[in-house]
Amino acid sequence: MQKISGGYIMTIDQLHTPQRFLQPAPQCEPPADSLMIRRPSARTERVLGTARRTPHSGTSGHSGTSGHSGTSGQSSLTAEPVAPGADVFWNTSLRLVLEVLDQRRSPAHLKSVLSPTLMELVQRLSISHDPTRGLGAARTHRTHVNTASPHAAEVCATFRRGPRTFAIAARIENTDNKGWMVTALHVV
């Protein structure tokens, strides 16, 4: 390089010297494992795990069956799939419930999806004054399905109204004569 008034001039040979200006980005994400299956078409995330051995009261975040032994960094959850049709049923019933709450659908459409007590609850919610309806129609954001027993699943979802995000949780059960049915529902 030659120095001239206030700057440097580089020769052609200096421009072609191999230098590394870029380096690979450091690994920041945890390694992918088999505990989560992404299905962008259904917008459902299934957390695969074993069914609870005892009913969960909901009073704590620990079910007692996490499978973690405490001796290693690896969890020993087995990849047991969610009951067939649970995720599709939850996505469909969630959209129906949100449309009824938005008063875009008649509550009569929920008879095959909700238990009778929940049917009455959703009917009352749909006719009540809800100030969040002014934010716009509810749009589902993300749904989760988790196996609770061989014939039941605990499900939850987030949905948006305008700039705000809300949550909904439910329990769905597969009865022999009626198929899947929402037996518990909580809208936050």
Asked if residue 16 has pLDDT above 50, the reply is yes
The pLDDT value recorded for residue 6 is: 59
Query: What would the two tokens of residue 161 be?
Result: 């109204």
Give, rounded to a whole angstrom, the gap between the first and last alpha carbons of the chain: 68
Q: Which domain holds residue 174?
A: 39-50+77-187
Q: Do residues 100 and 106 make contact, with C-beta atoms less than 8 angstroms apart?
A: yes
Asked if residue 159 has pLDDT above 90, the reply is yes
Does 62 map to a domain?
no
The pLDDT value recorded for residue 156 is: 95
Q: What is the pLDDT of residues 121-155, one digit of tens each?
A: 999 988 888 888 889 899 998 999 998 888 899 99
Does 18 map to a domain?
no
Mean pLDDT, range 18-35, rounded to an integer = 65
Does 90 map to a domain?
yes
Q: What is the pLDDT of residues 45-64, one digit of tens each?
A: 444 445 555 555 555 454 44
Mean pLDDT, range 169-187, rounded to an integer = 90
The pLDDT value recorded for residue 18 is: 60
Does 72 map to a domain?
no
Does 71 map to a domain?
no
Domain count, the chain: 1
Does 8 map to a domain?
no
Does 67 map to a domain?
no
Residue that wins the pLDDT comparison between 172 and 65: 172
pTM of the full predicted structure? 0.57
CATH number for the domain that contains residue 158: 3.10.450
Does 65 map to a domain?
no
Q: What is the pLDDT of residues 68-117, one digit of tens each?
A: 444 444 444 444 566 778 889 999 999 999 999 999 999 999 999 999 99
